[in-house]
């Protein structure tokens, strides 16, 4: 009803404007005509203000028009965290430009955003123990995006970045993953499933690391080798080391230490392929780096086992064999889906 009344009023206002515009340029509009018309325009404006005030009074606080802005109780903790991060980032952004600020002053909002990132996977927030997709996804996604935008502006101010612009999104993701991993270091009864979202995040980042470098797309679609490779490589390595240290606290590994590396690489490739299976459009570009990484793993698997230079055969061969088999099957499935 409100929209209908507003529409009628705006149409009336537009009609008044049209009447003035339709008068030929060389016609002299007398002051008396304008004076007679303006009270009617003022009446319309007053009516519009009254309707707007009535609308605000009648509409519940959680609704704007027909748009639902409430958040599912299961996600209200996430909403609270995001509000804290946004408030701190806005306060930081509005600090006196002459005040000496440092990246460490942003540690808390960065940790919060890193934790929330770990809950946001494939376009939705997932909460352990909650079935289905809790409502409030769009609102929280907007808050998360605003948080990252503010964080980017604040980090620019303290000269945090030492990599080129094309690689900064990856730097932010790696930094958030690292903070989220560190926040779990003191968690009691750590379970592998607690680390699953962060393992998926790392697997997605791994997909950008090809032949010892991170590639970014240029304006023409060409692959660029942007500055900051060493910084990102160190961040990626630190994240994987932190993740492995956390996994060692659980019953995740069923192999000897010598097989940790190939075990983690196969798990990363497998996770990325599982993600591609859920996507509608998969391209050859998506598969090329994964296929090459899988071939490197194949090269270590000789005559049905992985043998060390000393000649020893570490325990866990069956686990690695199963991972290798499952990963190859997934690769074939993704290729068939892409071609079909």
Q: E strands within 193-320?
A: 209-210, 213-214, 216-217, 223-224
Assess if residue 99 is contained within a domain. yes
Dihedral pair phi/psi, residue 54, rounded to 5°? -65, -40
Assess if residue 25 is contained within a domain. yes
CA count, 13 A, side-chain hemisphere, 169:
10
Assess if residue 23 is contained within a domain. yes
Q: What is the mean pLDDT of the chain?
A: 77
Residues 90 and 39 in one domain: no
Q: Which of 101, 132, 160 is the last residue of a domain?
A: 160
pLDDT exceeds cutoff 70 at 159: no
Q: What is the pLDDT of residues 166-190, one digit of tens each?
A: 888 888 889 889 989 998 998 888 8
pLDDT of residue 80: 93
Q: In a 10 Å sphere around its CB, with 0-12 CB exposed, 13-18 middle and 19+ buried, how is residue 53 labelled?
A: exposed
Assess if residue 233 is contained within a domain. no
Assess if residue 211 is contained within a domain. no
Assess if residue 19 is contained within a domain. yes
pTM > 0.75 = no
**CA 171 – CA 162 distance, rounded (Å):** 10
Q: Which of 160, 181, 204 is the last residue of a domain?
A: 160
37-46, 141-150, 269-278, 282-291 — which is least confidently predicted? 37-46
Assess if residue 288 is contained within a domain. no
Joined tokens for residue 205: 């980042």
**CA 186 – CA 140 distance, rounded (Å):** 27
Q: E strands within 193-238?
A: 209-210, 213-214, 216-217, 223-224
pLDDT of residue 251: 80
Instruction: Name the pLDDT band for 142 (thresholds 50, 70, 90).
Output: very high
Q: What is the pLDDT of residues 53-112, one digit of tens each?
A: 554 444 444 443 333 468 888 889 999 999 999 999 999 888 876 676 777 788 888 888
Q: What is the residue-wise DSSP string for 290-330? A: HHHHHHHHHHH-BTTB---TTS---S-HHHHHHHHHHHHHH
| β-strand partners of 309 | none
Assess if residue 298 is contained within a domain. no
Residues 83 and 155 in one domain: yes
pLDDT exceeds cutoff 90 at 9: no
**CA 81 – CA 140 distance, rounded (Å):** 10
Residues 45 and 87 in one domain: no
pLDDT of residue 221: 56
**CA 291 – CA 283 distance, rounded (Å):** 13
pLDDT exceeds cutoff 90 at 239: yes
Q: Give the domain range for residue 121.
A: 75-160
Joined tokens for residue 25: 């340029």
Q: What is the mean pLDDT of residues 245-260?
A: 88
Q: Which of 133, 160, 187 is the last residue of a domain?
A: 160
Residues 44 and 107 in one domain: no
Task: Count structural domains, the chain.
Answer: 2
């Amino acid at each position: 009803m409100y929209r209908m009344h507003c529409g009628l009023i705006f149409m009336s206002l537009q009609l008044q404007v049209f009447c003035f515009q339709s008068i030929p340029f060389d016609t002299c509009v007398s002051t008396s005509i304008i004076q007679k018309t303006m009270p009617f325009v003022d009446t319309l404006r007053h009516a519009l203000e009254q309707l707007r005030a009535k609308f605000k009074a009648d509409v519940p606080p959680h609704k704007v028009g027909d748009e639902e802005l409430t958040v599912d109780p299961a996600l209200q903790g996430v909403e609270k965290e995001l509000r804290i991060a946004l408030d701190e980032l806005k306060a930081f952004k509005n600090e006196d430009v002459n005040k000496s600020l440092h990246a460490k002053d942003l540690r808390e909002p960065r940790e919060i955003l890193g934790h929330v990132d770990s809950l946001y996977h494939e376009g939705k927030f997932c909460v352990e123990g909650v079935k289905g997709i809790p409502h409030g996804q769009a609102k929280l996604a907007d808050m998360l995006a605003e948080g990252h935008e503010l964080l980017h502006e604040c980090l620019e101010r303290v000269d945090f970045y030492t990599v080129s612009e094309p690689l900064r999104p990856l730097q932010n993701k790696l930094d958030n993953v690292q903070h989220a991993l560190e926040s779990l270091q003191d968690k009691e009864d750590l379970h592998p499933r607690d680390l699953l979202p962060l393992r998926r995040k790392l697997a997605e980042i791994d997909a950008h690391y090809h032949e010892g470098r991170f590639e970014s797309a240029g304006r023409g679609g060409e692959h660029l080798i942007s500055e900051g490779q060493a910084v990102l490589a160190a961040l990626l390595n630190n994240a994987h080391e932190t993740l492995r240290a956390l996994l060692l606290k659980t019953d995740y590994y069923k192999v000897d230490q010598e097989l940790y590396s190939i075990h983690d690489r196969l798990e990363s490739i497998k996770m990325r392929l599982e993600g591609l299976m859920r996507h509608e459009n998969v391209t050859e570009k998506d598969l090329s780096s994964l296929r090459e990484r899988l071939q490197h793993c194949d090269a270590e698997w000789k005559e049905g086992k992985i043998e060390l230079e000393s000649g020893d055969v570490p325990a866990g061969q069956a686990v690695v064999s199963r991972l290798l088999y499952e990963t190859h099957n997934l690769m074939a499935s993704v290729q068939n889906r892409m071609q079909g």
